[in-house]
Amino acid sequence: MIQTRFMRETILPQEAAPHRTSGVLLWVRENLFSSVTNSVLTLLSLWALYATIPGLFQYLIVDAVWSANTGKECLAENVGRPVGVCWAFVTSHMGYFIYGQYPEAEWWRVDLFFAAEALGIVWLLWPNAPYKFAGIIYFFVIFPIIGFVSLTGSTMLGLTPVATNFWGGFLVTIVISTFGIVVSLPVGILLALGRRSDMPIVRLVSVIFIEFVRGVPLITVLFMANVMFPLFLPDGWRPDSLLRVLVGVALFFAAYMAEAVRGGLQAIPRGQYEAAQALGLGYWRMMIKIILPQALKIVIPNIVNNFIGLFKDTTLVAIVGIFDFLKTIQASLADPVWRAAGMPFAAYIFASLVFFVFCYGMARYSMWMEARLDTGKRH
């Protein structure tokens, strides 16, 4: 007889509850104590944090000296308690760090320049901002004119001229990096197009320029700008020392921008070129209307990463005697009034914080943009 149906007659014993698949304890066990080595590493890290964080907090904030007029007033024997960082050094030099020796009555012009720049950057980098093309015109044509006029001054508009040797501090750092990006991006695009051109001489010139510049350190280019450029010019022409450095920095970064843009150009499928040509577009119209908008969009993260490098490398101009942000800090450290033990720590920690905030912010933007453009999947 074949059994045709089955019915369980006894109730099965209850099983143990399943392992937890979520919860804090489980997360801790899986991520921090999954093996012996892991547990040791976790404990070591916790110990390192315990050993450094409270001390740093004490040194940087609790024990810090916030107001003083000389370096001596920051010393423990004069304060009467253990002292940490002398932030008074930073707060009392803030104006010098931002504006250099720019006359104080004219600081509003520098602020105007900063504001005009911020507007342009937000306009260009915020993906949903309207009138993108107008933004490009603003940043690469109108803003440089505003910046130039407001910073150097113009007697016609009633602005007192301020010579560039009075410029300094963060202003110069921003001027160099802005000039760098405003000039090096267009030049870099031209070089990238030249490197992919059908014309052998144009290609050769672009390749030689790009590879030569990328093969030498920035500091040698700055020396070249500083001591060789003046020799190339007729005797009467004495180009401004800041201008020489600006040109050197811009040409240096143009080569790096060219390589970033070339990556974008190579990523555009052939069909796009062929379709544009089939529509009867000439070379420049094809590039401006079809290829470059797509190519540049892909390489925005690379361009931003290059810009981070440019921003960090502006510090090198100090070596050829330009008073940028870092150089003003160095100069203040040499001031005998403020000379005291521990002062370099205050200065360099402050400078590091400033650079970190800017560079890390840009890096996060570039990562966010990369995720948005989804170019990460191409790797």
Partner 1 sequence: MSSQISGSHATAKVVFYNDPKFRSRFAQFVLLVAIGLFAYFAYENTSENLRKRNIAQGFGFWDVEAGFDISQTLIAYSAASSYGRAFWVGLLNTLLVSLVSIFFATILGFIIGILRLSRNWIVSRLAGVYIEVFRNIPLLLILYFWYGAVLGALPEPRDSLAIPGDIWLNNRGLLVPRPLIAGDILYTVAALGIGILGAYILARFARRRQAETGERLPVGWISTALIFGLPLLVYLGVGTPLGFDFPEKGRFNLTGGLNLAPEFVAMVVGLSTYTSAFIAETIRAGVLAVSKGQTEASQALGLSRGQTLRLVVVPQALRVIVPPLNSEYLSLTKNSSLGVSIGYPDLVNVFTGTVLNQTGQAIEMVSVTMLVYLTFSLLTSAFMNWFNRRVALVER
Binding site for partner 1 (CB under 8 A): 31-32, 34, 38, 41-42, 45-46, 48-49, 198-202, 205, 212, 214-217, 219-220, 223-224, 227-228, 230-235, 308, 312-313, 315-316, 318-319, 326, 330, 333, 341-342, 344-345, 347-348, 351-352, 355-356, 359-360, 363, 379
Residue closer to partner 1 (CB basis): 12 or 231: 231
Cα atoms in the 13 Å half-sphere on the side-chain side of 351: 23
Q: How far is the CB of 120 from partner 1 (least distance, A)?
A: 23
By beta-carbon proximity to partner 1, the closer residue of 100 and 147 is 100
Shortest separation between residue 363's beta carbon and partner 1, angstroms: 7
Q: Is 321 left (phi over 0), alpha (psi -120 to 50) or beta?
A: left
Q: How far is the CB of 81 from partner 1 (least distance, A)?
A: 20
* Rounded least distance, CB 37 to partner 1, Å: 9
The answer to whether the beta carbons of residues 63 and 78 sit under 8 Å apart is no
- Indicate the residue among 52 and 160 with the shorter CB distance to partner 1: 52
**Alpha-carbon distances of 112 from 109, 118, 333, 361, rounded to whole Å:** 5, 10, 29, 22
Of 159 and 359, the one with the shorter C-beta distance to partner 1 is: 359
Alpha helix (H) residue ranges in 80-225: 87-99, 107-125, 132-137, 143-152, 169-195, 200-215, 218-223
Find, among 375, 219, 363, 241, the residue nearest to 299 by Cα.
Answer: 375
Q: How far is the CB of 61 from partner 1 (least distance, A)?
A: 18
Nearer to partner 1, 123 or 350 (CB): 350
Residue 230's contacts (CB-CB under 8 Å, 6 or more residues apart) are 237, 238, 239, 244
Largest separation between any pair of C-alpha atoms in the chain: 119
